[in-house]
Each structure stands twice: as C-alpha cells, then as structure tokens.
Structure 1
Amino acid sequence: MTPPIEHPLDLTTQAILTWGSWGLTAVVLLVAARLGMREKTPFYVLLILAAMFGAFAEPLYDEGLMLWFYAPGIWSHFTAFGVPQPNWTHSGYAILYGCAAMIITKSIHDGAVSQNSVYIFFALELVMSCVFEIFGINGISGGAYEYWGPHVFRVFNYPLIIGILEATQVICFSLAAVELRRRAKHPAHLLGLFAIFPMTFYAANFGIGGPVIIALHLDAPATSTAFVTFGTLLSIGLVFIVLRMAGNVMMGHVDATRNPAR
C-alpha cells in the first residue's frame, strides 16, 4: 500500500477544521486562564499550550499509524517524513487533548472523581475523537486526510483503535500533570508539562499501540487482516490493563491535590 499522495483535499472541510478548531482553541484558552486566576496558577493554560506544542511531533505519529493529510491545496506550515502538516493540528491537539486533560485534572483537583471516573473520562475522550476525526476523514463533500494503512474495526473509515489510544494517552497525560502540579515548588516548574505531553503521548500511542503499529508495517505478504486484527486486539487489551491501573492512581491523587499549595 502507498499513501494517497495525489488525493484531492476538500477545501471546505479544511476551512471548517482550521477556523472552527482555532476558534474553539481561543475559547478553551480563555476558560483555562479564568480557572488559573481563580486557583492562582498557570497550570491550566500551560496544560493547553503543552498539548499544542506537542503537535510539532505529529509527523512521528503519522508515520507510525499511517495517517496522510491530503496535500493539494493544504494550508501547511511544515513537512516531515514527506507528510505535509496542516496548521490546524495545533488547535486540534488543544481541543482533543488539552481541553480533555483540563477537565480531568480539574475534576481530580476538586475531588470530584470515583473509581469508575477513569472509564467515564475514557469514553468522553473516545467520543470526542470519533466526532472530530470522522468529520476530518469524511468532511462535507470529501475529507482532509485518511488513515491509509490496513487498519481494521473502522467506523465511517475511522479506525477505532486510534480513538482508543488517544483516550488512553489523555488520561496518562492528565495523571502525570496532576503529579507535577502537586510536586512543583515554583510556577516555573510547571513548564515540565511541555516534556510530559510528548512522553505520555508516545508512551501510549507507540508503547501500548506498539502491537498494532508493528502489524500495520509488516512486510507483504505478512501484513494481513489476521495480523492487524491480532495486533489491534492486543493493544486494546493493554489499554484496559492501563485503565485499571490509572483508576487506582487517580484515586490516590484526590487527597493529595484537594487543597494544593499552588
């Protein structure tokens, strides 16, 4: 299989993804700033900015999980691994990952979580990912990109494993971010969020998602539906092990972050 290099880009879908996502990003940043002023911390704003900055590493993700942004007419700011990057990746990261992480970390800070909250957060992020990406893939009269590899378990051309891994990495990022906030002695220490985001992002997508990535890239004729299905199911199994662990970690954070000193 080869990437759809010459596939036309639906310009209407591109415009909606660009202006819509950047508009929502401005709203998310305003909400984060208000939360920060209320709690006297730059934590929430930095949480969003860290996710946005992490989009510069999107080409690694595209290469691993076989995502191709349609190039003809793309509003791109750089290209890596031969994949042109649309400028809405940063705003997309802010909405899908930063905003969701803000909801999770705020809930933990307020102690408004239970043992089952991790599954609720997981489902919320999965739904957000499905809505955003199904639109991006299919668009109005055509999409802006596609997962062109031999993925299985697709819904409207969207491989569900993508959303499953995305939801897992947001939970991992949120828990690590809460721990950093609890341990930080100075607001500047919260800049560590810029390092934590790519660490948790690729730990989940390339670590937990390792089996499906390897299955996708096996040399022909080894790559088959059976191999990809097995790799996908194995990654899904690892996800639920991580979620079980994350639920215990989340509850451990509640008491420690109920009345943070910063």
Structure 2
Amino acid sequence: MGRMPSEVMQHELDMIWQSIFTWASWVIVALMLAIAFRMCVQQRTPFYLLACVAAGVAAFAEPLYDVAFDLWFYDVHNGESGAMFSHFTAFGVVQPNWTHSGYIILYASACLYAGRRMYEGRLRRKHLFLIWGAEIMTSCVFEVIGTGTNVYTYYGPYALRIWNYPLVIGVLEGTQVVLFTVLAVQLWRRVSTAWGLVGLFAVFPITMFGANFGIGAPIIIALHLGEDEFSSGLVWAATLLTIVLCVLAVNGASKFMPRPVGTSEPDGAAAPRKDSVVAA
C-alpha cells in the first residue's frame, strides 16, 4: 500500500478555497503575532514570538510528514500556470505557502493562551487534557474544511474518517501541541537569557516528529504494508493503538508540568519567583 492513486494526483485544486485558506490563515497569524508581541513586551520575554516563529520555520519539513501520512496537496492540471500558491516541492509533493501559517495556528496557539499559566505552575493534569481536547477539535475543524473542499487530502486507507479527514491525525496533532507546549515551557523555566529560548527551534521538530513518527509509528506502518500483508483490520488496530499511545503520552507529559512558582522541581531545579525577570 502507500501508492498514490492516479485520480488523487490528477484531482483539481479548488482555487477559491485555496485563496480562502491562504489569506484567512495569514490574517489569523498576523493577529497571533501582534498578540504575541504585546505579551512579549508586557512580560519581558521573547517566548511567545519565538514559539510562533519556531512553528512556522518547522513547516519546511512538512514534506516528510506528507510522505509518511499519505497527504497530498492538490495542484492545477488544466494548464493554468502558477495557479497554486507554492514556494517549493519536495518528494514530489508541491507545498502551498499556507502550511507555514497553518503550523503557527495549529501548533503555537497553546503557548499563547496557556504558556504563562503553565510557566507559573497553575495548570494541572485535567487542564492539560482540556488543552489536548481543544486542540484536537481545532485540528479537526481546520482540516475537515481543507480535505472537504478540494484543497488537499489524506489518500491512505485510513479508518475512522470524519468527512474525508482521519480522526487519528487530529489526535496526533493535539498530542504534538501538548508535548511542544510542555517542553517549550520547561525550557523557558530553565534558561536565564533570551538567547536560551532560541532552543525552541530545536524543541519543535523534536516533539513534532517524536509525536507523529514515534507515537504514530503503528498507523504509518499499517498504512504502508505491502499488498500481501495489508489488512484493513490492522489499520483499525493501529489506529486504536495510536490513539491509546497519545492518551498515555499526554498523561506522561502531565508529570512534567511545572510546579507553582517558589517551589522546587522534581529534578532539583529551582522554580522562578513571581517577581523574577523572565528571560530578560
């Protein structure tokens, strides 16, 4: 399995919806960056802006994800030149430029609305699962629209689809958000200068591919078994196993949630005081 059907490659891109995805997503990102900048100034830390930029830069690795999860961005085949808003192609998959805005929206938003409270140790496991659920819902809404309006598709033999969108993808994306946010905040707690937060550019791909290629390994393998070994039952089993692993990962991440300010972390690292300058 894993071979792309010819009808997928030849499927026409909906130009109107491509424009909606492109302009709407970048408008949302502009608002997010404005909010992040204001938060950075008020709290004297570049954390929020760097989290957004780290997510956007990481989108250059999107082709790796596309190949693993059988994702295909529709192109135009009717002779219209330059119709797709693309900036590069890798592994034969043409990349629309809205992947960068999509990454920022889907993966960095939790740093903005939950990062500070997590930093101060005011979130508990139940809050982390609420964030996980909210991010899964956001992913489903975003991608159900994209896969249902002829912008892109997941062409693999997935189970548990919502419209044309595989639910397991949304669960993995929500898990990635949780892992990235927790690790990013832990880095924030431990660095003493703003330069230390540049490490977010490494944190994002570590959690992105750790979640999707690590936790998501069962579904990736099940989707790409040879024709003699492929089984829809295995895809179902791998889907359910991947979702269970995501639950375990989020629960495990909750064990690494920062403690309240003024207390000590389990590893002995001193937590910052409320009146301390945050990565100034």
CA-CA distance at 1:13 after TM superposition = 0.8
The whole-number CA distance in structure 2 between the counterparts of 1:184 and 1:154 is 42
- Aligned to 2:102, what secondary structure does the other structure show? helix
Which of the residues 84, 93, 118 maps onto 1:108?
118
Q: Does 1:35 align with 2:43?
A: no
Amino acid corresponding to residue 246 of structure 1 in structure 2:
A
- Aligned to 2:88, what secondary structure does the other structure show? strand
- Aligned to 1:68, what secondary structure does the other structure show? strand
Amino acid corresponding to residue 71 of structure 2 in structure 1:
L
CA-CA distance at 1:106 after TM superposition = 2.4
- Aligned to 1:223, what secondary structure does the other structure show? coil
Mapping for residues 1-262 of structure 1, pairs under 5 Å = 1-3=3-5, 4-72=8-76, 73-139=83-149, 143-250=150-257, 252=259, 256=271, 259=274, 261-262=277-278
Q: For each residue in 1:29-80, what CA deviation from the matched residue of structure 2 results, as whole angstroms up to 9, or x when unmatched?
A: 0000111111101110000000000100000000000000002132110000
Amino acid corresponding to residue 37 of structure 1 in structure 2:
V
- Aligned to 2:95, what secondary structure does the other structure show? strand
- Aligned to 2:218, what secondary structure does the other structure show? helix
- In angstroms, what is the RMSD of aligned CA positions? 1.5
The whole-number CA distance in structure 2 between the counterparts of 1:224 and 1:150 is 10
The whole-number CA distance in structure 2 between the counterparts of 1:128 and 1:211 is 24
- How many matched pairs? 259
The whole-number CA distance in structure 1 between the counterparts of 2:122 and 2:86 is 40
Amino acid corresponding to residue 221 of structure 1 in structure 2:
D
Deviates more, 1:237-246 or 1:9-18: 237-246
Q: For each residue in 1:168-199, what CA deviation from the matched residue of structure 2 results, as whole angstroms up to 9, or x when unmatched?
A: 01111111111111111211111110111011
Q: Which structure shows the bigger proportion of residues in helix conformation?
A: 1
Amino acid corresponding to residue 4 of structure 2 in structure 1:
T
The whole-number CA distance in structure 2 between the counterparts of 1:26 and 1:6 is 33
The whole-number CA distance in structure 1 between the counterparts of 2:241 and 2:247 is 10
State the TM-score, normalizing by the size of structure 1: 0.95
- Aligned to 1:146, what secondary structure does the other structure show? strand
The whole-number CA distance in structure 2 between the counterparts of 1:204 and 1:253 is 27
The alpha-carbon distance between structure 1 residues 27 and 258, as it changes in their structure 2 partners (threshold 3 A), is farther
Q: Say if 1:115 and 1:247, in contact at 8 Å, map to a contact too.
A: yes
The whole-number CA distance in structure 2 between the counterparts of 1:57 and 1:113 is 31
- Aligned to 1:249, what secondary structure does the other structure show? coil
- Which 5+ residue runs of structure 1 have no aligned equivalent? none
The alpha-carbon distance between structure 1 residues 84 and 103, as it changes in their structure 2 partners (threshold 3 A), is same
The whole-number CA distance in structure 2 between the counterparts of 1:214 and 1:114 is 34
Amino acid corresponding to residue 120 of structure 1 in structure 2:
L
CA-CA distance at 1:244 after TM superposition = 1.3
- Which 5+ residue runs of structure 2 have no aligned equivalent? 77-82, 264-270
Query: Equivalent pairs: percent with the same residue?
Result: 45
Q: Say if 1:168 and 1:239, in contact at 8 Å, map to a contact too.
A: yes
